[in-house]
């Protein structure tokens, strides 16, 4: 049974709109979650790195060494950081324990941590202790001092990325939820393929199939692809809605011309650009010279403009001009303005012209 074409078109547009929005939201979520996950892990590592370096710095100062360097802290495996020193040094067990507990507080490490001191030459553990929130701390060999030697210190944090991973798990759960919504839209599009649609709808339906992404870089790449697909669907939806309906408003572009800025001139509207006067439904055309003369008179309404000024402004590019030419154009303008009996061009003998409104007696 074929679906009614009008209903099918309506339903298809709604699915395209929903698919486009879902694709864009999913893409934004993929990209944002990738950067959030990595920025969270990086920030966590940097914070602990600074704390451990500060511990090493204080340990050297207590040993009377203020010149040798604390070497860069490295994460030798997930949650385990190695602290190295440039030179040999002497340290006290209690000092290392106190510094660790002060600079690496339990409040920031709910699962606790383990500190072990290794001999660089022999490779064995010479000292260690454990700080724990859920069971008593293991603090061995207190009150002793370690002789001068080459030492490295390991700081191990169980469940170091627990918060980051928990947040990632929440993000993954939300991702799956969005995927399910998108898959529902895809199933609806598959069902509509039996109706009469354009071939480009089928192609877009294939592009909407979701894929599981495991790596942040992949998230970013495929997130960008999803943005393009979603944007294509949205543009297609709104683009079709914005197309003009055949047979409707066909003459609109001809009748609806851009309205130029019109100047009021008595009862007239003076369109300088189009060189004409408008009075009701009547349009009176002006020649180029007539328009220039009237424009000067209008700009200086009620003021006397010398004949020489008018002739110079209007006939400046004509080379030779006479006062008779000016009088002739003024005479023509008077006739065209005669439709408004109160508007007139007054001649001040031997001086010039002015445009004014004559008040009724």
DSSP assignment of 15-56 = HHHHHHHHHHHHHHHHHHHHHHHHHHHHHHHHHHHHHHHHHH
Tokens 């099918």 correspond to 8
* pLDDT on residue 284: 93
Full domain range(s) for residue 96: 1-240
* pLDDT on residue 360: 62
Q: Within this chain, do residues 2 and 94 fall inside the same structural domain, yes or no?
A: yes
Q: Within this chain, do residues 201 and 293 fall inside the same structural domain, yes or no?
A: no
Q: What is the pLDDT of residues 206-245, one digit of tens each?
A: 544 444 444 455 555 666 676 676 677 667 656 555 544 4
Q: Within this chain, do residues 145 and 28 fall inside the same structural domain, yes or no?
A: yes
- Domain end residue (candidates: 208, 240, 272): 240
CATH classification of the domain holding 335: 1.10.10.10
The Cα–Cα gap between 274 and 6 comes to: 48
Q: Within this chain, do residues 331 and 232 fall inside the same structural domain, yes or no?
A: no
Q: Which parts of the chain fold into alpha helices (H)?
A: 5-62, 93-103, 162-191, 199-207, 216-242, 252-255, 288-299, 307-314, 323-337
Residue 164 banded pLDDT, cuts 50, 70, 90 = low
The count of domains in the chain is: 2
The reported pTM is: 0.39
DSSP string, 230-279: HHHHHHHHHHHHHSPPTTSSTTHHHHS------EEETTEEEETTTTEEEE
Q: Within this chain, do residues 296 and 344 fall inside the same structural domain, yes or no?
A: yes
* Mean per-residue pLDDT of the chain: 74
Q: Within this chain, do residues 59 and 118 fall inside the same structural domain, yes or no?
A: yes
In 3D space, the residue among 28, 53, 351 whose CA is nearest the CA of residue 175 turns out to be 28
Q: Within this chain, do residues 197 and 278 fall inside the same structural domain, yes or no?
A: no
Q: What is the pLDDT of residues 336-355, one digit of tens each?
A: 999 988 999 999 888 999 99
> Which distant-in-sequence residues (6+ apart) come within 8 Å of 204 by Cβ?
16, 19, 229, 232, 233, 236
* Residue 249 falls inside a structural domain: no
In 3D space, the residue among 303, 273, 274, 291 whose CA is nearest the CA of residue 336 turns out to be 291
Q: Within this chain, do residues 150 and 282 fall inside the same structural domain, yes or no?
A: no
């Amino acid at each position: 049974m074929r679906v009614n074409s009008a209903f099918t078109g309506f339903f298809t547009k709604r699915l395209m709109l929903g698919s486009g929005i879902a694709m864009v939201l999913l893409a934004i979520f993929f990209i944002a979650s990738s950067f959030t996950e990595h920025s969270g892990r990086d920030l966590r590592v940097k914070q602990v790195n600074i704390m451990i370096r500060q511990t090493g710095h204080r340990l050297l100062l207590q040993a009377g060494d203020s010149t040798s360097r604390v070497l860069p802290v490295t994460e030798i495996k997930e949650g385990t950081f190695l602290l190295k020193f440039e030179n040999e040094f002497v340290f006290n067990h209690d000092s290392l324990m106190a510094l660790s507990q002060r600079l690496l507080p339990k409040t920031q490490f709910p699962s606790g941590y383990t500190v072990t001191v290794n001999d660089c030459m022999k490779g064995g553990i010479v000292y260690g202790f454990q700080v724990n929130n859920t069971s008593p701390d293991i603090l061995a060999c207190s009150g002793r001092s370690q002789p001068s030697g080459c030492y490295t210190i390991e700081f191990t944090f169980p469940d170091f990325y627990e918060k980051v991973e928990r947040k990632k798990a929440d993000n993954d759960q939300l991702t799956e939820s969005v995927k399910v919504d998108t898959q529902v839209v895809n199933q609806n599009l598959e069902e509509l393929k039996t109706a009469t649609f354009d071939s480009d709808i089928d192609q877009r339906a294939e592009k909407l199939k979701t894929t599981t992404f495991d790596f942040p870089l992949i998230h970013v790449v495929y997130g960008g692809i999803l943005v393009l697909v979603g944007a294509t669907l949205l543009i297609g939806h709104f683009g079709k809605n914005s197309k003009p309906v055949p047979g409707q408003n066909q003459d609109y572009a001809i009748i609806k011309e851009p309205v130029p800025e019109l100047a009021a001139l008595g009862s007239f509207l003076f369109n300088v650009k189009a060189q004409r006067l408008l009075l009701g439904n009547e349009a009176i055309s002006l020649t180029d010279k007539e328009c220039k003369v009237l424009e000067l008179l209008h700009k200086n309404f009620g003021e006397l403009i010398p004949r020489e000024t008018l002739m110079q402004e209007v006939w400046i590019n004509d080379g030779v001009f006479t006062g008779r030419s000016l009088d002739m154009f003024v005479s023509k303008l008077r006739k065209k303005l005669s439709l408004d009996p109160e508007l007139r061009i007054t001649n001040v003998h031997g001086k010039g012209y002015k445009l004014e409104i004559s008040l009724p007696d």
